[in-house]
Structures are given as structure tokens and as C-alpha cells.
Amino acid sequence: MTTATTTLSNAPMTASDRCDRCGAQAYVRVVLSAGGELLFCAHHGREHGQALRAAGAHVHDESQKLAATSSTAAPDER
């Protein structure tokens, strides 16, 4: 049984994903209920995430990566 899955909201964000507001690296992906998606940096993700979530959008927050990558990057992530 195979269903068509969209990989859009599951693919990990990369350094080439940029905040739609300021162009910084994106850590928050917002999938709008009407379709389409937005990318935000950690800062703008916090600023807009709650309102978008309240509006029914799916907010995928990877901003915890910010804290994890500095000094204690897991070896298996490389």
C-alpha cells in the first residue's frame, strides 16, 4: 500500500534554505494550510511561528539545531 507522500515538510533544512524575511539561514519551515510554505530563521520563526500555527499552518521548527551544532555536533551528523 503506497500513498503519495509529500517530502516537502519532511526534508531537513540545509544551509541553502534562507529566511523569507531577512535572508539568514532558515531553521523554521511553515507549511500553510492553503498550500505553499515559508522559511524563517530562528528569530523570525519565533516572531511569526505562533501566529501562523494559530492560523492552522504546520510549523516545523529546527531551531534547536542552532544550539546543537556549535561545540557538540554529533559525529554521525557529518
User: Where do contacts with Zn ion occur on this chain (CB under 5 A)?
Assistant: 19, 21-22, 24, 41, 44
Nearer to Zn ion, 22 or 73 (CB): 22
Nearer to Zn ion, 31 or 63 (CB): 63
Least gap, CB of 25 to Zn ion (angstroms): 9
Nearer to Zn ion, 13 or 24 (CB): 24
What angle (nearest 5°) sits at the alpha carbon of residue 67, between those of residues 12 and 27? 35
What angle (nearest 5°) sits at the alpha carbon of residue 52, between those of residues 46 and 53? 90
Eight-state DSSP code of residue 10: T
Contact 55, 33 (CB under 8 A): yes
Least gap, CB of 27 to Zn ion (angstroms): 9
Please name every residue paired with 61 in a beta bridge, in sequence order, or none if there are none.
28
Least gap, CB of 3 to Zn ion (angstroms): 34
